[in-house]
Amino acid sequence: MALLEIRQLSVAFPTQDAVMHAVDGVSLQVQEAQVLGIVGESGSGKSVSMMALMGLIAYPGRVRAEHMQFDGQDLLGLSDGQRRKLVGKDIAMIFQDPTTSLNPCFTVGFQLVETLRLHLGLDKPKARERAIFLLEKVGIPAAASRMSDYPHQMSGGMNQRVMIAMAIACNPRLLIADEPTTALDVTIQAQILELLRELQRERGMALVLITHNMGVVQEMAHRVAVMYAGQVAEEGPVAGLFAAPQHPYTEALLAAMPEQAGADGRLATIPGVVPGLYDRPAGCLFAPRCRYATARCVADRPELQPAPQAASGSLVRCHYPLGDPDRDARRHADGVLVPEVVA
């Protein structure tokens, strides 16, 4: 049984005259000690899907799912009190910007100690001792003296290390890292990612890594889910997905990686933009930007299904997966290519 199983998760935000579907029918599984990478453009629903799991979607957001289970426990039926006991202890999350996640009115030591006392029931001396140990574990020098520092007295990289210490304080079984290096410079980014990898391996945690960086996913993850416009476009083992992508969007993302730049140094781009509130297509959500789209793509929305001739466990949301040997014949049989999206 998977540690985390989500089936048909949807998150909607109603406005005065329309409904924004930030997450639209997402299904994911995370196994024990597995690293799942979630990639996609800004606005693809990566962070919102995990915030829904954590119970952090505020009104008027609406969260619905057929099934959302952690270690056999139904997350949809939890009371607020039950969720508070679970979140922060067994499931923890690291957010993008530590300066907005740490309380500026309290020292980092106080915030760590309170976390430990709340979830583990430690007395103050033992909680302080463990807090110092955790700060040392995440690479903060002179940890005992830094306990009395406020967040503004520490660098962005140090604050992110504090956030990681707080997240692993109760030995969670699942850690969600939401673009944990976004606000940091390149050198510190590498250090934070290496720290996360070391902690994941050492503690046997499952890790969900949300990122824009395909290179990071290739280096750290076992499986990867590619999200687009609130849906999972493709999911599969990292090696297979990078070697033979099945969805045109995944193919385009990989082509845009810096190491794929041409002789003139120019990077490939994906034309168009992610659909918004008022221009969500009736058919495939990627069709307006896809160079392979047909009339069927414009009219019919594809389902997530096993990818033909791909690595075991690979799923793709496309009428014409790139690995299908009959795709060209089927494309021409299903309708004329849509002029707007033909290169």
Say how far apart CA 4 and CA 205 lie, in whole Å. 12
In the DSSP assignment, the letter for residue 337 is: B
- Per the structure, the complete domain to which residue 142 belongs is given by 4-221
Instruction: Measure CA of the first residue to CA of the last residue in the chain; give whole Å.
Output: 45
Nearest to 320, CA basis, from 340, 339, 334: 334
Cβ distance 175 to 205 under 8 Å? Answer: yes
Indicate if 194 and 232 belong to the same structural domain.
Answer: no
Contacts of 230 (CB under 8 A, 6+ apart): 11, 21, 22, 23, 24, 26, 44, 45, 285
Indicate if 43 and 105 belong to the same structural domain.
Answer: yes
Burial call 22-55: b when 16+ CB within 10 Å, e when fewer: bbbbbbbbbeeebbbbbbbeebbbbbbbbbbbbe
Indicate if 201 and 63 belong to the same structural domain.
Answer: yes
Say how far apart CA 190 and CA 200 lie, in whole Å. 15
Q: Print pLDDT tens along the chain (343 aa).
A: 799 999 999 999 998 888 999 999 999 999 999 999 999 988 899 999 999 999 999 999 999 999 999 999 999 888 888 888 888 889 999 988 888 889 999 999 999 999 999 889 999 999 999 999 999 999 899 999 999 999 999 998 899 999 999 999 999 999 999 988 876 788 888 888 899 999 999 999 999 999 988 989 999 999 999 999 999 999 999 999 999 999 999 999 999 888 877 777 788 888 888 998 888 999 999 999 998 999 999 999 999 999 887 667 899 999 999 988 888 888 888 775 554 444 4
**What pLDDT is attached to residue 67?**
93
Indicate if 62 and 126 belong to the same structural domain.
Answer: yes
Indicate if 140 and 258 belong to the same structural domain.
Answer: no
Last residue of a domain, one of 201, 221, 241: 221
Indicate if 258 and 274 belong to the same structural domain.
Answer: yes
Q: Is residue 243 classed exposed, middle or buried when 0-12, 13-18 and 19+ CB atoms within 10 A define those classes?
A: exposed
3-state SS, residue 175: strand
**What pLDDT is attached to residue 340?**
47
Q: What is the CATH number of the domain that holds 209?
A: 3.40.50.300
Nearest to 140, CA basis, from 122, 121, 153, 125: 153
Indicate if 174 and 198 belong to the same structural domain.
Answer: yes
Q: What is the pTM of this model?
A: 0.91
Count H helices, E strands: the chain? 13, 13
CB atoms within 10 A of CB 222: 16
Indicate if 232 and 179 belong to the same structural domain.
Answer: no
Last residue of a domain, one of 170, 192, 221: 221
**What pLDDT is attached to residue 336?**
54
Indicate if 61 and 153 belong to the same structural domain.
Answer: yes
Cβ distance 105 to 46 under 8 Å? Answer: no
Strand pairing report for 67-70 and 19-30:
unpaired
Amino acid identity, position 66: E
22-26 long-range contacts, Cβ below 8 Å, gap at least 24?
Answer: 22/48, 22/61, 22/230, 23/48, 23/49, 23/52, 23/230, 24/229, 24/230, 24/231, 25/231, 26/227, 26/230, 26/231, 26/232
Last residue of a domain, one of 206, 221, 236: 221
Indicate if 112 and 249 belong to the same structural domain.
Answer: no
Query: How many structural domains comprise the chain?
Result: 2
**What pLDDT is attached to residue 312?**
74
